[in-house]
A = this chain, B = another copy of it.
Amino acid sequence: MKVSTLQENLNKSLNIVSRAVSTKSNLEILGYILLKTENGMIKVSSTNLEIGVSSYVGGKVDKTGEIAVPARLFVDLISSVPNKKIEIEVENGVINIKSENFKSNIKGLPAEEFPLIPQPKGKVNFKLKKSSLKEAILSVVFSAAPDESRPVLSGVYLNIKDNNLFFAATDSYRLAEKKIKLEGKNTDIEIIIPARSLIELSRVLEGEGNVEVSIDENQALFKTDDVEFTTRLIEGKYPDYKKIIPESSEIKIKIKKGELLNAVKMASLFSRETTNSIRFLLKQKGVLEISSPESQIGGSISDLSVETEGKGGEVFFNSKYVLDILNNMKEEELVFEMSDKVSACVFRNEKDNDYIYIVMPLRT
């Protein structure tokens, strides 16, 4: 193998694939990156057996070949090489790296030892903009369960129905759902992708352009101009979450997000070491009171000026679930909907009807 490329390009690709390198695995080879010539380009790949990431680097291929290089050493080295042309030549299992006034050699491992990254065969199932996919992931993924006691809940549910792509995540205390309208005709699908994988995917989705998504029974492939991202799927049936979305609510409140965020933060300080409980009380038309329970250490009350529809009422929440959504909403105005102390409550952006967040109240 003999190739040359610019430091900048190789460095960029290595930063992308190094995210899937697992340095803590017992399998030494998972701490390596696969370098390979493919279609006149240099392909760099890594995998932790749950996800696999490949990136293509433009350059000149003088001699084809492939080899596995120790990831951390290679990534750190390339990031320190001056931004000039780099030549890489493999001889007897050693990677020789040369730049203007610098040369280095690194012992590699045979490419055959590198695990195969399985990819769905066949056609592309659907495609969408990188930016839409990234936004959808980030607006639901925090609602997935952090542990795997119920494996399906540790994933995000992707469902195409009537050319709408729904992303949903729930840990059974709260639920986030985002809808994206797809172009063209799309086959209905239902898959569950590990939340961890989608967080990594969101980090490689930068800039303009589309993502083509292919799936089979066990994995999904997300393909952009220069990156291929594969993840395993979670087996199982996702709960029928649609039925917990309230069809209507008795009280609707329009609130400035920034004000609500401050009030919830302040109230949460007084219960963060105990129950995390905070109270929303619509005490009169136009005034929403956010308060902490009175505790050993003190308490707090904020009165927010809001626009209201419906009569008064109160509801208790785990402040963490409210802070999560307030930190993730895009618009400055939000709509909060509730009915009584036990019914699910709704947070929406004022203008974006394709996003909904449901929180179950705390029973008191």
- Seen from chain A, the residues whose Cβ lies within 8 Å of a Cβ on chain B are 70, 73, 76-77, 80-82, 94-95, 101-107, 259, 262-263, 265-266, 269-270, 296-305
Contacts and interface: CB of A to CB of B under 8 A. Distances in A.
A88 to B, nearest CB: 13
A5 B106 CA distance: 62
B266 A81 contact: yes
A39 to B, nearest CB: 29
Contacts of A302: 101-102
Nearest to A266: B80
Contact of A101 (B70, B81, B105, B304): B304
Taken together, the copies of this chain in the complex come to: 2
A70 B297 CA distance: 9
18 contacts: A70-B297, A73-B269, A73-B298, A77-B300, A80-B262, A80-B269, A82-B259, A94-B298, A101-B304, A101-B305, A102-B263, A102-B301, A103-B301, A104-B300, A105-B299, A105-B300, A106-B298, A107-B296
A111 B305 CA distance: 37
A47 to B, nearest CB: 22
A72 to B, nearest CB: 9
A102 B300 contact: yes
A104 B299 contact: yes
Contacts of A270: 73, 104
A208 to B, nearest CB: 32
